[in-house]
Amino acid sequence: MPDYDGLIIGAGHNGLILQAYLGRAGLKTLAVDRRAVAGGGLSTVEDPRYPGFLHNTHAFFQRAITAMPWYEDLELERHGARYIEPEVNVALLTSEGRALEWWTDIARTAASFAQFSQRDAETLQRWQHDFVPIVRDILVPESRRLPLSPEERHALLSKTTEGRRLLEVSALSPLEFVHQEFEHPTVQAGLLFFNGLREVDLRVKGFGHHIAALLASPAKAQMSRGGTAALARALEASVRENGGAVRLMTEPARIIVENGRAAGIETREGERITAGFVVSSLNPTQTFIDLLDEQLVPHEIQEAVHAFQYNLLAPLFALHLNLREPPRYRAAEANPALAQAFMVIMGLDHVDQFLDIVRHHEQGTIPPTVMWGACPTLFDPSQAPAGHHTAFMWEKLPYRLGGDPNNWDGARDAHGREMLKLWTEHAPNLEGAVIDSFTRSPLDVERCLPNMREGDLLVGAFTNDQVGYHRPFRGAGTYRTHIPQLYLCGSSSHPGGNVTGLPGYNAAQVILSDLGMPLARP
Ligand SMILES: Cc1cc2nc3c(=O)[nH]c(=O)nc-3n(C[C@H](O)[C@H](O)[C@H](O)COP(=O)(O)OP(=O)(O)OC[C@H]3O[C@@H](n4cnc5c(N)ncnc54)[C@H](O)[C@@H]3O)c2cc1C
């Protein structure tokens, strides 16, 4: 008898969601993780120099979490999860002191866009309206199930008006879509930035529908009360309630394959843990190259894994602050609603800056700063001592700085000071408000979570041959692998990275269906 029915490698949110569903179905499971804390990118740390100041070092803005099927199925609010969705969801502050605002209410968003271009405000509303049924009836259901092959998908979509519209728009790149539909350079830049947050290469055809889909999505950016890690704690509680175990500081040296089937792992300490099936939430390089004996992986799969592309533009640099008071933006003097803006973007005025940012990433150099972030304690005071605040800014910066990621260790703090300079131009009170600060580079991200290779927080680029049925590689988007009883459940699988939990949710459906068991709902 194996030790467990199922063993999951990596206790990030995808691994935990999968594990909770397996537990609800009555299976005995173990998740192993190399870190001392579960949750992966759901990470909140306390400043060791200033107790009580909490910082979310990876994911912070989470889209539509409360609308995800697993959020309700796993009863996460009963386990302590709470989400906040601020009304002024995003504000882009221009260098001239204007603001392009994205509210949870589309009419207020359109009113803000109209201050830049009346025509763009009307175009925005038209696309939002047209895409509501496409998001509801096509894109959301597609993200929550096993992907169809491109041929099957095309045939299915061609049958309906909405499907044909989706195919037509997605044939464009986001850059083409925005240039074709909108006229004002700040509006174009703002829309592309909102889209770029999802890390799609703006030049790649096949993603022209992303902006319209974001406009039409009912759920905007949300944050977790108590810090992002509160979601991880709720997931862990759900796992444990259903009999699952999580073993930390445990790293597999290899996946055991016996009689041609996955049968467990051997840890770096030489311990054998056996299981009826194994699920990897790691990236394809870790799963197929590092953890499987070479002779178990056919040549064509090895080649596909070596060709797997990590996202050039995904790596983030972060500046975190402990504050005596929240940033007070100049732009809020004329427009008080901005004092409650959730995601704030600075340094971005014109759409052409994107191409400049891409060029800098390709060359390993630092572009003029475009950054975005938030002051979490404006909405959740529990993340700092009474009367105090935390805030952060992120910037997309290249992993290979000057051709070598190790250069980040020497360059990190100086770059943090540059970011603070720009931030203070927009919020002059920061001058005397900072108690402490620290930075994290793309190299630090990879050191912490090696599945985010090259600092890629999506764990694999969203390019045409790495999405849907072809994520992580051609024809591999089924969560199953070429080895029976070895499955995938992480962000390198459909529908990809960010905190959606859907790779884990979809993998649960596949594994339980292979076992002839239903997905247990409350
Ligand atoms: C700076 C930054 C900001 C981000 N901001 C956002 C955001 O605002 N919104 C959003 O939605 N997403 C954001 N993300 C992305 C998000 O964190 C990831 O896409 C998400 O965490 C991926 O989830 P996962 O479960 O697939 O993998 P992970 O969360 O990375 O979990 C994988 C787990 O596997 C473990 N592991 C890795 N290697 C091994 C090994 N060899 N052996 C055992 N265990 C291993 C890790 O320790 C980890 O716990 C951000 C990421 C970063 C780095």
pLDDT by residue (tens digit) across 53-85? 999 999 999 988 999 999 999 999 999 999 999
**Considering just the CA atoms, what is the radius of gyration of the chain in Å?**
23
Higher pLDDT, 357 or 22: 22
Phi, psi (rounded to 5 degrees) for 155: -60, -40
Interval between CA 10 and ligand 1 midpoint (Å): 10
Which of 265, 266, 449 gets mutated to test ligand 1 (max ligand atoms within 8 A of its CB)?
Answer: 449
Interval between CA 258 and ligand 1 midpoint (Å): 30
Give the pair of three-digit tokens for residue 201: 């290469």
Which of 33, 220, 291, 343 gets mutated to test ligand 1 (max ligand atoms within 8 A of its CB)?
Answer: 33
Which of 58, 228, 282 gets mutated to test ligand 1 (max ligand atoms within 8 A of its CB)?
Answer: 58
* Closest residue to atom 7 of ligand 1, CA basis: 59
Give the pair of three-digit tokens for residue 381: 């005071």
Within 10 angstroms of residue 231's Cβ, the number of other Cβ atoms is 29
Interval between CA 452 and ligand 1 midpoint (Å): 7
Of the given ranges (52-66, 350-364, 415-429, 487-501), which has the lowest mean pLDDT? 350-364
**What residues contact residue 160 under an 8 Å CB cut-off, 6+ apart?**
none
Residue 44 has pLDDT above 70, yes or no: yes
Q: Provide the pLDDT for residue 522.
A: 61
Averaged pLDDT for residues 426-439: 97
Averaged pLDDT for residues 172-201: 86
Residue 496 has pLDDT above 80, yes or no: yes
CA nearest 325: which of 389, 273, 395? 389
Which residues are 318's β-sheet partners? 394, 440
For residue 394, the ligand 1 atom closest to its alpha carbon is: 1
CA nearest 253: which of 29, 34, 461? 34
Alpha-helical segments (H) within 158-228: 161-170, 174-181, 185-196, 210-216
Give the pair of three-digit tokens for residue 59: 């994911």
Interval between CA 232 and ligand 1 midpoint (Å): 11
Please tell me the distance from the alpha carbon of residue 439 to that of residue 448, in angstroms, as a whole number.
Answer: 14
Interval between CA 281 and ligand 1 midpoint (Å): 10
Which of 451, 459, 500 gets mutated to test ligand 1 (max ligand atoms within 8 A of its CB)?
Answer: 451
Q: Provide the pLDDT for residue 521.
A: 65
Ligand 1 neighbours, Cβ below 6 Å, are 9-15, 32-35, 40-41, 58-62, 251-252, 281-282, 286, 316, 318, 445, 449-452, 457-459, 490-491, 497-499
Averaged pLDDT for residues 16-36: 98
Interval between CA 128 and ligand 1 midpoint (Å): 31
Higher pLDDT, 520 or 257: 257
Q: What percent of the chain is modeled with pLDDT above 90?
A: 89
Q: Provide the pLDDT for residue 518.
A: 78
pLDDT in tens, 267-312: 999 999 999 999 999 999 999 999 999 999 999 999 999 999 998 8
Q: Provide the pLDDT for residue 198.
A: 58
Q: Provide the pLDDT for residue 89.
A: 94
For residue 290, the ligand 1 atom closest to its alpha carbon is: 41
Helices H / strands E in the chain, number of each: 19, 19
Please tell me the distance from the alpha carbon of residue 148 to that of residue 132, in angstroms, as a whole number.
Answer: 22
Helix or strand holding residue 131 (H, E)? helix 118-134
* Closest residue to atom 2 of ligand 1, CA basis: 58
* Closest residue to atom 34 of ligand 1, CA basis: 10
Alpha-helical segments (H) within 182-298: 185-196, 210-216, 229-241, 284
HSE, CB side, 13 Å, CA atoms: give it for residue 190. Answer: 28
Helix or strand holding residue 414 (H, E)? helix 408-426
Q: Provide the pLDDT for residue 14.
A: 98
Please say whether the beta carbons of 129 and 213 come within 8 A. Answer: no
Alpha-helical segments (H) within 8-105: 13-24, 69-73
Residue 502 has pLDDT above 90, yes or no: yes
Q: How far apart, in Å, do the first and last CA atoms of the chain sit?
A: 30
Residue 180 Cα distances to 120, 170, 176, 353, angstroms = 11, 13, 6, 18
Q: Provide the pLDDT for residue 219.
A: 75
Which residues are 275's β-sheet partners? 4
pLDDT in tens, 204-258: 888 899 989 988 988 789 999 999 999 999 999 999 999 999 999 999 999 999 9
**What residues contact residue 467 under an 8 Å CB cut-off, 6+ apart?**
206, 494, 495, 496
HSE, CB side, 13 Å, CA atoms: give it for residue 461. Answer: 16
* Closest residue to atom 14 of ligand 1, CA basis: 59
For residue 39, the ligand 1 atom closest to its alpha carbon is: 49
Q: Provide the pLDDT for residue 209.
A: 92
Residue 485 gets the label, from left (phi > 0), alpha (psi -120 to 50) or beta, of left
Which residues are 44's β-sheet partners? 56
Which of 42, 310, 345, 491 gets mutated to test ligand 1 (max ligand atoms within 8 A of its CB)?
Answer: 491
pLDDT in tens, 132-177: 999 999 999 999 999 999 999 999 999 999 999 999 999 999 999 9
* Closest residue to atom 21 of ligand 1, CA basis: 41
What size, in residues, is the chain? Answer: 522
If pLDDT is split at 50, 70 and 90, which confidence band does 520 have?
low
Q: Which amino acid is at 94?
A: T
If pLDDT is split at 50, 70 and 90, which confidence band does 200 have?
confident
Averaged pLDDT for residues 262-266: 98
pTM: 0.97
Interval between CA 457 and ligand 1 midpoint (Å): 7
Higher pLDDT, 204 or 455: 455
CA nearest 107: which of 122, 92, 90, 94? 122
For residue 440, the ligand 1 atom closest to its alpha carbon is: 1
If pLDDT is split at 50, 70 and 90, which confidence band does 113 have?
very high
If pLDDT is split at 50, 70 and 90, which confidence band does 464 have?
low
Interval between CA 40 and ligand 1 midpoint (Å): 5
